Amino acid sequence: MERAKKIVEYIEKNFDQKPAYNITTNGTLLNEEIARFMKKYDFKVMISIDGDEREHNLLRPLKNKEDSFKKTIEGIKLLEKYEIPYITRMTVTKFNQDFDNFWIKYNFKNIVRAFVAPEDYTLLPDLREYNKKIESYISGEDKTISGIILSSINVRKNRIKNKNQLVINCFGGVREVSLSADGNLYMCHRATGNEKYYIGNIFKNTHNEIIKSAYKLFNKIMVGIESEKCNKCWARNLCGGGCHLKNDLQKTYPEEIQNYFCDLIKLEYEWAMVLLSKEIINKVTV
């Protein structure tokens, strides 16, 4: 925490433009003092929570192997007490794939989910199950699907409806960067600690050096998106080539893993088109 304070002091002193502070944490170390500090500097917090008590403790044990769920919930309560904006983020694996009930039970307001990006299939959720879940909702068979899945498909549906092309999926590395406690800057939160995506250090490099290094790395990584596979893909202008960091990290992964995420994106777009067609048909028949 002392380091985080030093970093904030440094930024406040050296930059005219007020930055937006975001922090990703499991919330287990939050206390009143830290909460007051976050409130003072308008932090936005992303809390990693991977399901209900059993799944979360299995997937996110503390360093000493103790359970973390209760501490994470206490951390969330503290954020609520100080009215600090937060998002809960779930990393979906095959161990917590049935997360609908969990969100309903705790009624977290802002939720996002991302599928795990592993090197092999051991953690990946089953896409057939995911497909069935969406299908049963859209066919009207099951109304219990959580808003979180639906919101992801709705975002895609609206992109098609509004003809919003997505040429680049994310500007991580140029519009936002990740800052570690030692002052190192990385392309994005996913890249934190990985030397390959290091762009400088706020205590050692000048502002200009950091900007130059960030653009150089971003342009280098983005070349991966111009791949033949993406250019031939029907979803190219909707997907934007996916997460450039993930693409780069997965270059050496087995082809099935690389295809998994493309299959996931395309699956959601296919369902988005079904939803949109239903919407249009309903309009015409009313």
Find the binding residues for ligand SF4 in span 257-276 (CB under 6 A): 262, 265-266
131 within 8 A of 268, measured Cβ to Cβ: no
Q: Which of 175, 229, 251, 278 is in the footprint of ligand SF4 by CB under 6 A?
A: 229
Q: How far is the CB of 55 from ligand SF4 (least distance, A)?
A: 28
Q: How far is the CB of 272 from ligand SF4 (least distance, A)?
A: 13
> Please, how many CA atoms are within 13 Å of residue 8, restricted to the half-sphere of its CB?
17
Q: Which of 4, 73, 166, 233 is in the footprint of ligand SF4 by CB under 6 A?
A: 233
68 within 8 A of 57, measured Cβ to Cβ: yes
Beta strands 178-179; 184-186: pairing state: antiparallel
CB atoms closer than 10 angstroms to residue 127: 13
Q: Which amino acid is at 136?
A: S
Contact segment (CB under 6 A) with ligand SF4 among 6-14, 148-156, 185-193, 225-233 equals 225-233
CA–CA gap between residue 159 and residue 164 (Å, rounded): 5
230 sits near ligand SF4 (criterion: CB under 6 A): yes
Contact segment (CB under 6 A) with ligand SF4 among 24-32, 35-43, 203-211, 234-242 equals 234-242
CB nearer ligand SF4, residue 42 or residue 263? 263
105 within 8 A of 240, measured Cβ to Cβ: no
3-state DSSP assignment of residue 91: strand
Q: How far is the CB of 111 from ligand SF4 (least distance, A)?
A: 24
3-state DSSP assignment of residue 87: strand
241 sits near ligand SF4 (criterion: CB under 6 A): yes
Q: How far is the CB of 90 from ligand SF4 (least distance, A)?
A: 22
Chain positions contacting ligand SF4, by CB under 6 A: 229-230, 233, 235-236, 239, 241-242, 262, 265-266
